[in-house]
Amino acid sequence: MTVQQAAQLRCRRCGTFDSGTYCSGCGAVLSDATGRTWLQFADSFLKITERGQYLRTYGRLLASPTRNTLALYAEGNPTGAFQFLQTSLLIYTLAVLSRVISGGTIVSMVAMPVMLLCSHAMYLALFYWMAHRKSRSGRSGHEFLILSAYSAGFTLPIAAALQAFQTMEPLWGLLALLVACVPMYVYALRVWARFWQLSKRRVFAYLFAATMVNTVVWIAAGVAYALLFLVPAST
């Protein structure tokens, strides 16, 4: 251990020597407390520290979505960004699985998070390709993924809440979903326009094009699935 490391705290999660409140490597709370075996066990099993960090990050995004999404991206902490996205994906998956308990079909409901991931990955790849070609900001794919993790992590719990509401109230839930699409799209326009340093009109065109291509691909995949599996089974 060096003299500099001796003056710092060692993160109990990833082992990084650091100072301050949070670890720059993984985002965990730094503490020099010892002998707290049960608390450490509960934290490692229930991820209390990680969940608390997630709630603080989400509260920060709610206070000012566009500004604080870009501020979190600027901190350049990929570990924190992907942990935030991971927790949001867990929330969304649990919300989808709850529909299975309430009477949804297991295959369609369990497959939905997987389909969402594949669809979103294709959508992001198309959008990155179009925007990166025209932008002069010099943004890298690594930077794009960090910002994508924070923006998707912010919107997924909202989508989960809307799906849960739609399960209870189909008509009102659908109306709430349509209304929520407007501020979510405005949020995406603002974030990506500042990131790429492009006009909102151009960013809208790229987002719309990526959405349309993605939709066509998934409709074609759905038709192929029906022709291969559903139609032969019915005949």
Q: What pLDDT is stored for residue 34 in this prediction?
A: 45
Within-domain flag for 2: no
Residue 92 in tokens: 């969304």
Which ranges of the chain have pLDDT less than 70?
Answer: 1-8, 12, 30-49, 96, 98-117, 222, 225-226, 228-235
Within-domain flag for 187: yes
Whether residues 13 and 66 fall in one domain: no
Whether residues 124 and 35 fall in one domain: no
DSSP 2: -
DSSP 202: H
Domain count, the chain: 2
Q: What pLDDT is stored for residue 130 in this prediction?
A: 94
Q: What pLDDT is stored for residue 232 in this prediction?
A: 56
Within-domain flag for 56: yes
Q: Phi first, then psi: what are they for 33, rounded to 5°?
A: -70, 140
Q: What pLDDT is stored for residue 53 in this prediction?
A: 87
Q: Based on DSSP, count helices (H) and strands (E) in the chain, helices before strands.
A: 10, 2
- Among residues 100, 83, 99, 93, the alpha carbon closest in space to that of 116 is found at 93
Positive or negative torsion for Cα 192, 178, 160, 121 = negative
Say how far apart CA 58 and CA 65 lie, in whole Å: 9
Whether residues 31 and 67 fall in one domain: no
Within-domain flag for 113: yes
Q: Which residues contact 80 (CB under 8 A, 6 or more apart)?
A: 26, 27, 53, 57, 72
CB atoms within 10 A of CB 194: 18
Is 210 exposed, middle or buried (CB count within 10 Å of its CB: 0-12, 13-18, 19+)? buried
**Nearest 5 degrees, angle CA 65-CA 69-CA 73?**
175
- Among residues 142, 155, 122, the alpha carbon closest in space to that of 195 is found at 142
Whether residues 120 and 184 fall in one domain: yes
Whether 12 and 40 have beta carbons less than 8 Å apart is answered as: yes
User: Could you list the residue range(s) of the whole structural domain that residue 218 is in?
Assistant: 48-234
Q: What pLDDT is stored for residue 74 in this prediction?
A: 93
21-45 pLDDT tens trace: 777 777 777 665 444 455 555 555 5
Q: What pLDDT is stored for residue 1 in this prediction?
A: 43
Q: Which residues contact 72 (CB under 8 A, 6 or more apart)?
A: 57, 60, 61, 80, 81, 150
Whether 100 and 106 have beta carbons less than 8 Å apart is answered as: yes
